């Protein structure tokens, strides 16, 4: 998946965090910086399903972006991953 988004792409200005609580902007930015690091599996019907982020790729991406990851920050990132995975795997 070729997603390359920033918080600005979501229409969020530094002083206007409508839709994202200010305390969560940094973790959303971190997630968006590694949003291409999904592990995908092919299904028998030709579709693909996200199984989760590739944590090795995520670690490298966060380190290269010089984003400090604490255990609490990691837990927040995993919550975003969970929601994104559910949304990506919704079947119509």
pLDDT in tens, 21-37: 888 899 999 999 999 99
Distances (CA, A) of 52 to 58, 70, 78: 11, 20, 9
Over pLDDT 70: what percentage of the chain?
79
**In the prediction, which pLDDT does 1 show?**
45
CA dist 52 and 37 (Å) reads 9
pLDDT of residue 20: 82
- pLDDT given at position 6: 66
Q: Structure tokens of 37?
A: 């690091």
């Amino acid at each position: 998946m070729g997603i390359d988004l920033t918080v600005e792409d979501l229409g969020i200005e530094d002083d206007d965090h409508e839709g994202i609580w200010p305390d969560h902007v940094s973790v959303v930015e971190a997630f968006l910086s590694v949003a291409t690091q999904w592990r995908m599996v092919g299904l028998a019907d030709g579709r693909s399903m996200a199984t989760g982020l590739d944590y090795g790729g995520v670690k490298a991406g966060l380190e290269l972006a010089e984003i400090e990851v604490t255990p609490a920050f990691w837990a927040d990132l995993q919550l975003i991953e969970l929601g994104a995975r559910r949304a990506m795997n919704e079947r119509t």
